[in-house]
Amino acid sequence: MSFKIAVLPGDGIGPEVTEEAQKALVAVAGRFGHSFEFTRGLAGGAALDAQGSPLTDETLALCQQSDAILFGAVGGPKWDNPQVDLRPEQALFRLRKTLDLFANLRPVRAFPMLSEKSPLRPEIVRGSDIIIVRELAGGLYFGQPKKRWETEEGRRAVDTMDYSDREIARIVRVACELARRRRKGVVSVDKFNALISSRLWRQVATEVGQEYTDVELSHMLADTFSMQLVTNPTAFDVVVTGNVFGDIFTDESAVLAGSMGLLPSASLCGLPTGRTLGLYEPIHGSAPTIAGQGIANPLAAILSAALLLRYSLDLETEAQAIEDAVQAVLESGHRTVDILTEGSTKVGTKEMGDLVVEKLLS
Ligand code: NAD
């Protein structure tokens, strides 16, 4: 089959790790007889420098005309001037908004051979396999009013947590569809006891849950969940939550895996069934302090390519092949510096990518 993939490597280590993810996709195309047409575009600081905009209309059009977007990372100290309005991360915001990428999926797996890299005890993280589904387009980050003003008593500011039943229903459906293909459990996380928007969230989540009789949907308060995530992570299958809670929990969940360099993500504009346009990126940033040294871990980017195959191209076997190859490379004891353990073999970014390709083609 033939697919168009937009590749936006971005800044810092973005281009280094994206290169390895693209290599894995090329290997998949060769092994399974597909044809992937990759078209590159600039994003973030690289686009600001070369084109005066973090994401030009042309690059946006390229993404809209593609089957999927492979994204690296954007940002870095060079573009951190607070006096300048145009910022690298606006590339991501524009893509999310224009393409309505409302569903952010972050799978978190604790690889058994890396459990000592987690700050949590191995017996706690071992066996963790969760997908956190974060609502990405609404809630506290976008609700109006959102402003700051002066009063006679001093300065004030307000943000608004605003959700419609439509926004809640569509993200809970994403979680239920995912659970259907996994262990059939969804935990919906809210602050039902304190927030009116959470009461609507819980009501709508319950209604949607009733449409999925094969899925067990339960509810948990955000404060309880934040503790359970690090004390009893194996209890969770799919977790669905709003934008601000999801922002916090997805980062908290990174401690289960042990390194930022291992976690992929997908942002989708529809259900994770069939072929849905999506943006695929490692959860980490541009890591400017290690950029250009060839030491960044490319596995998060490579695992993002697996998600791209699964959710945008509907190629499950091919996605699984990448995930198996990553697992096999880790089992063979090869490690980038961020996941180095005693007795393992240190490799760089490119070597790690080569090893994954080798396993894919063997
Ligand atoms: P970061 O994720 O770039 O780095 C955090 C730490 O993890 C650093 O020590 C880094 O060296 C390490 N690290 C990250 N990825 C790694 C990898 N693949 N292999 C090995 N080590 C890795 O976060 P930060 O330092 O807070 O931010 C750096 C820049 O990235 C900032 O400009 C920030 O705005 C940007 N950022 C971009 C995104 C994105 O593009 N989605 C996300 C987060 C941060």
Would residue 80 show up in a list of annotated catalytic residues for this protein? Answer: no
228 Cα to the center of ligand 1, angstroms: 26
Task: For residues 212 and 237, state if they share a domain.
Answer: yes
189 has which bridge partners? 220, 241
Domain final residue pick, 238, 257, 276: 257
Overall domain count for the chain:
2
Which protein residue's CA is at the shortest distance from atom 4 of ligand 1? 287
Please tell me whether residues 358 and 300 are part of one structural domain.
yes
Are the CB atoms for 190 and 242 separated by under 8 Å?
yes
- Residue span of the structural domain in which 38 resides: 1-106+263-362
Task: Classify residue 144: in a domain, yes or no.
Answer: yes
Distance 287 CA to ligand 1 centre (A): 4
145 contacts: CB under 8 Å, gap ≥ 6: 158, 160
- Pair 99, 197 in one domain: no
Active-site residue identified among 4, 100, 129, 141:
141
Residue of 255, 284, 347 to mutate, ligand 1, most atoms within 8 A of C-beta: 284
Q: Is residue 111 part of a domain?
A: no
Pairing of strands 238-241, 129-135: parallel
Give the Å distance between the CA of 150 and the centre of ligand 1: 36
Cα(299) to ligand 1 centroid in Å equals 14
Domain co-membership, 268 together with 230: no
Q: Residue 233: give its domain's CATH number.
A: 3.40.718.10
Judge if 249 and 292 occupy the same domain. no
Q: How far, in Å, are 33, 66, 107, 349 from residue 4 at the CA level?
A: 15, 5, 24, 25
CB contact at 8 A, 238 and 225: no
Task: Please identify, by atom number, the ligand 1 atom nearest to the C-alpha of residue 44.
Answer: 40
Per-residue pLDDT of the chain (362 residues; tens, 9 = 90+): 899 999 999 999 999 999 999 999 999 999 999 999 999 999 999 999 999 999 999 999 999 999 999 999 999 999 998 888 899 999 999 999 999 999 999 999 999 899 888 999 999 999 999 999 999 999 999 999 999 999 999 999 999 999 999 999 999 999 999 999 999 999 999 999 999 999 999 999 999 999 999 999 999 999 999 999 999 999 999 999 999 999 999 989 989 998 889 999 999 999 999 999 999 999 999 999 999 999 999 999 999 999 999 999 999 999 999 999 999 999 999 999 999 988 999 999 999 999 999 999 99
74 and 176 belong to one structural domain: no
Q: For ligand 1, atom 20, name the residue with the nearest CA.
A: 296
Q: Is residue 113 part of a domain?
A: no
Among the candidates 257, 274, 295, a domain finishes at 257
Among 257, 287, 320, the domain-final residue is: 257
Q: Is residue 129 one of the residues assigned to a domain?
A: yes
**227 and 124 within one domain:** yes
Same-domain status, 129 and 240: yes
